[in-house]
Amino acid sequence: MTSVDEIKELLKKNKKRLAKELDQSKEAVALIKKSMSTSLNDEEKDKVKVQLLDICKAVPAFAVFMLPGGALLLPLLMKLIPDILPSAFREDDEESQELLEK
């Protein structure tokens, strides 16, 4: 596999992860709207809590990425602080790391 193919594969995988994160965010917004009229059960409260934490994690990760040299700094931060990325981006992380190391 060439470097270009590896990069294309990672872009496809991250596109799916971003779509998954957006779906989870939409679900959280719907649950928050629901909470204004009725009480949420424990499972729904946990979903909202996890998703709000994911959003709070995404902001610093994207801010680091936007800095000059952030594309180089973000992978280093991910090794030092593995929980910096939202949950949708942490799944199959070992597989992505293996592709990068080849």
pTM score, whole prediction: 0.57
pLDDT tens per residue, range 13-69: 778 777 887 888 888 889 999 999 999 999 999 989 988 888 887 777 777 777 787
Give the separation between CA 33 and CA 74, rounded to whole angstroms: 34
23: nearest Cα among 44, 62, 51: 51
Extents of the domains making up the chain: 3-101
pLDDT at residue 88 in the model: 66
Provide the 10 A C-beta neighbour count for residue 76.
10
- Of 97, 100, 102, nearest in space to 82 by CA: 97
Question: According to the model, what pLDDT value does residue 45 have?
Answer: 92
